Amino acid sequence: MPQAKERVLITGAAGFLGSHLCDRFIKEGYHVIGMDNLITGRLKNIEHLFQLEQFEFYNHDVSKFVHVPGELKYILHFASPASPIDYLKIPIQTLKVSSLGTHNLLGLAKAKGARILVASTSEVYGDPQVHPQTEDYWGHVNPIGPRGVYDEAKRFQEAITMAYHTYHGLETRIVRIFNTYGPRMRLNDGRVLPAFIGQALRGEDLTVFGDGSQTRSFCYVDDLVEGIYRLLLSDYAGPVNVGNPSEITIAQFAEEIIKLTGTTQKVVYKPLPQDDPMQRQPDITLARKLLGWEPKVARAEGLKITYDYFKSLTQEELNEKEHFSFEGYVRK
């Protein structure tokens, strides 16, 4: 454990992944500075940390200049809208947080002599034509499609991060995160897992887009955090896939959720959104070799924990159809 507490800045701290990273770094003995502008994050995810001396919180938009007084050992940039609903509603903020925001945080890392890890995504592969996806696959992305604002923001984020590494010698790490699930996911963020569980808990039919033959692979959040932690402490600057290679079709997944929740509802099929990827499966050979990492939590086990979390939500939370109206961000 670090002696005098080393300080870590985590952006997107009130989000799903950011809040779990805050927990992990506090557990590892660090002083954690959380930063979030709460556009998609929720204070509820980190309110248990506010009583701790080793945690502080800044309500700040990293797309604007970022200043943190004192020393910083690590920066983890996890601020970004991450669900299709978000980035269709707030496309410009989505682009800015991974471009201007990343630039600001790289500048901060350079000024502080800190190591920075940026959260990239399997979305950099777009709708892949190579299966499973390895880190050397360049992707198949529509830059001007509705999802392009997220995909291209993250691709630019990787490019500028590598430029700071090669030009300034900055210590950088890039994690390409695949579908992740667990407690603190937003119930209504448009992603398939919370959508199915929310529909089951509300007694609604489960909505499958397309014919359900598209595949996803789901990684439990604790496994993901372990992979991120190991990558940060490694000495590898290239991108690394972190996810669970266990693949399942959306139609099969709907059946698993029906079985888990005991709902009597049926599955209804709707048209597939534009540029929705047909296949997503990480090749984690590099993470296994480099980090000695692989996912440990089986889907059945992780789903049960996640389902119990969603069951603990209030009726009001369960019935929230809109996550946020994004008033003040969305031009009428």
Residue written as token pair 């350079």: 110
Residue 314 counted as domain residue: no
Q: Which residues of the chain form beta strands (DSSP E)?
A: 7-11, 31-36, 55-59, 74-77, 115-121, 172-177, 180-181, 206-209, 215-217, 219-220, 239-242, 247-249, 267-270
Assess if residue 12 is contained within a domain.
yes
Per-residue exposure over 231-256, b if at least 16 CB sit within 10 Å of its own CB, e if not: bbeeeeeebbbbbbbebbbbbebbee
Residue 165 counted as domain residue = yes
Note whether 192 and 217 are within 8 A (CB): no
Percent helix, strand, coil in the chain (nearest 5)? Answer: 40, 20, 45
Please check whether residue 103 is in contact with residue 159, taking contact to mean a CB–CB distance below 8 angstroms.
Answer: no
pLDDT at 327: 65
Q: Is residue 193 part of a domain?
A: no
Which pair of structure tokens corresponds to residue 135? 């880190």
The answer as to whether 312 is a domain residue is no
Percent of the chain predicted with pLDDT > 70: 95
Residue 44 lies in a domain: yes
Q: How many domains, in total, are found in the chain? A: 1
pLDDT band per the 50, 70, 90 thresholds, residue 57: very high
Find the catalytic residue in 150, 164, 220, 229: 150
**Is residue 79 scored above 60 in pLDDT?**
yes
Q: What is the DSSP letter of 282?
A: B
Rounded distance between C-alpha atoms, residue 138 and residue 117, angstroms: 20
Q: What is the pLDDT of residues 16-55, one digit of tens each?
A: 999 999 999 999 999 999 999 999 999 999 999 999 999 9
Question: Is 203 inside any structural domain?
Answer: no
Per-residue confidence (pLDDT) for residue 101, from 0 to 100? 98
- Say yes or no to pLDDT of 113 above 60: yes
Domain holding 226, by residue range, is 7-184+219-244+277-296
Query: Is residue 276 predicted with pLDDT exceeding 80?
Result: no
The verdict on whether 229 is a catalytic residue reads no
Structural domain includes residue 52: yes
What is the CATH classification number for the domain harbouring 290? 3.40.50.720
